[in-house]
């Protein structure tokens, strides 16, 4: 748990995350590419004193979360057209910042071109986030927090997504232990037992959908998000000792761990590592070596990948998110000025 006196870095990260989100949302315009916005967001974070806590992600229409571009700008398998914003698109922009490992995580939803097609859904997502935060007082049962989020969504005519939830934040740990329900899970739900803890820091992010099932699914392949994370399940030293890694693989694995700790990172951030040991290789050869290395690091459980997520029945998805600290009197929002 985090004492109020220890909040400085968390508040610094929250402020940069908030400023980044507010600045970059205006760049989501008709004809702009998804990658332009992603790249702009990450550069903004560095210019303003933070580091990305995870790659900036874009989710359009029925996409829910966990997509960033790769170094080749390859569209996901569920997208047939170019990754360019079109009028009427419902876009979720999710930005995370860390300062010395303390994380600020926030997101919003915008409609490209402001045509007014999705106004009520966007409003409902924001109100669900705020209703959740208002309920997060120390000692409040988690099922009551989830019920508040669901009520706000249903009152507006939208279905809450029940297999996505908020998450606890700890230093260099984006998903630490306790989850925050965003639906009426009930008092006996095994995943949401207990109460809101004083001193906890949480990312609160209810999702809603125009679909009827209220569920998201994985988009293949397993690395469809282009996002990876060092698991911490096996050390580089142990992998070397057991012969699971060769020296070059160990060097690259060590670099990833030292640079990103256990926070998610983008394929396009890491791929340039191949240029130094193989400067004269063709791009095809370098890509092949990279794919082999990544496969090995995943197989030995040094790395894990994320799937892109989308609505199971094609419904459009809305989302809003804040990071909060639970003080004696309730939740204090960190992702603000």
Domains of the chain: 4-217+312-333 (3.90.230.10), 227-305 (no CATH)
What is the structure's pLDDT at 51? 98
Rounded to 5 degrees, what are φ and ψ at 118? -120, 20
Q: How far is CA 290 from CA 88, 250, 287, in A?
A: 38, 13, 5
Give CA 142 to chain center in angstroms. Answer: 22
pLDDT-based confidence at residue 233 (cuts at 50, 70, 90) = very high
pLDDT (average), residues 297-312: 97
On the question of pLDDT at 63 being above 90, the answer is yes
Contact in structure between 109 and 90 (CB atoms under 8 Å):
yes
pLDDT-based confidence at residue 172 (cuts at 50, 70, 90) = very high
- DSSP labels, 193-215: -SBPPTT-EEEE--EEESSSS--
Q: What is the rounded distance in angstroms from the CA atom of residue 179 to the CA atom of residue 193?
A: 10
pLDDT-based confidence at residue 319 (cuts at 50, 70, 90) = very high
pLDDT (average), residues 66-76: 97
Q: What is the mean pLDDT of the chain?
A: 96
On the question of pLDDT at 276 being above 90, the answer is no
Q: How far is CA 77 from CA 126, 153, 169, 254, in A?
A: 29, 30, 31, 31
- DSSP alpha helix (H) spans, the chain: 8-24, 34-47, 119-135, 142-155, 236-241, 247-260, 267-270, 283-299
Q: Model-level pTM?
A: 0.96
Q: What is the dihedral of CA 222, 223, 225, 227, to 10 degrees?
A: 130
pLDDT-based confidence at residue 275 (cuts at 50, 70, 90) = confident
73-127 tens-digit pLDDT: 999 999 999 999 999 999 999 999 999 999 999 999 999 998 899 999 999 999 9
What is the structure's pLDDT at 289? 92
């Amino acid at each position: 748990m985090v004492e109020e006196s220890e909040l400085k870095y968390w508040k610094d990260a929250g402020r940069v995350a908030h400023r980044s989100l507010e600045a970059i949302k205006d760049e989501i315009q008709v004809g702009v590419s998804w990658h332009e916005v992603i790249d702009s967001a990450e550069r903004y974070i560095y210019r303003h004193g933070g580091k990305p806590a995870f790659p900036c992600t874009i989710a359009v229409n029925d996409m829910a979360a966990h997509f960033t571009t790769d170094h080749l700008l390859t569209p996901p398998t569920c997208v047939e057209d170019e990754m360019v914003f079109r009028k009427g698109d419902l876009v979720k922009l999710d930005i995370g910042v860390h300062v010395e490992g303390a994380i600020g995580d926030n997101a919003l939803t915008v409609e490209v071109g402001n045509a007014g097609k999705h106004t009520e859904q966007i409003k409902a997502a924001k109100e669900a986030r705020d209703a959740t935060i208002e309920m997060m007082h120390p000692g409040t049962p988690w099922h009551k927090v989830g019920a508040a989020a669901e009520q706000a969504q249903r009152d507006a005519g939208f279905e809450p997504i029940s297999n996505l939830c908020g998450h606890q934040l700890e230093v260099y740990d984006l998903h630490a232990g306790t989850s925050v329900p965003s639906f009426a899970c009930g008092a006996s739900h095994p995943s949401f037992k207990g109460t809101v803890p004083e001193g906890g820091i949480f990312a609160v992010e209810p999702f809603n959908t125009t679909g009827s099932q209220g569920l998201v699914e994985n988009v293949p392949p397993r690395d469809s998000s282009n996002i990876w994370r060092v698991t911490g399940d096996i050390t580089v030293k142990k992998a070397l000792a057991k012969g699971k890694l060769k020296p070059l693989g160990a060097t690259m694995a060590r670099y990833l761990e030292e640079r990103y700790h256990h926070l998610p990172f983008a394929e396009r951030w890491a791929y340039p590592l191949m240029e130094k040991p193989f400067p004269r290789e063709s791009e095809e050869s370098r890509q092949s070596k990279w794919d082999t290395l990544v496969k090995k690091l995943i197989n030995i459980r040094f790395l894990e990948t994320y799937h892109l997520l989308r609505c199971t029945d094609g419904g459009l998805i809305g989302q809003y998110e804040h990071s909060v600290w639970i003080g004696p009197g309730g939740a204090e929002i960190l992702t603000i000025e």
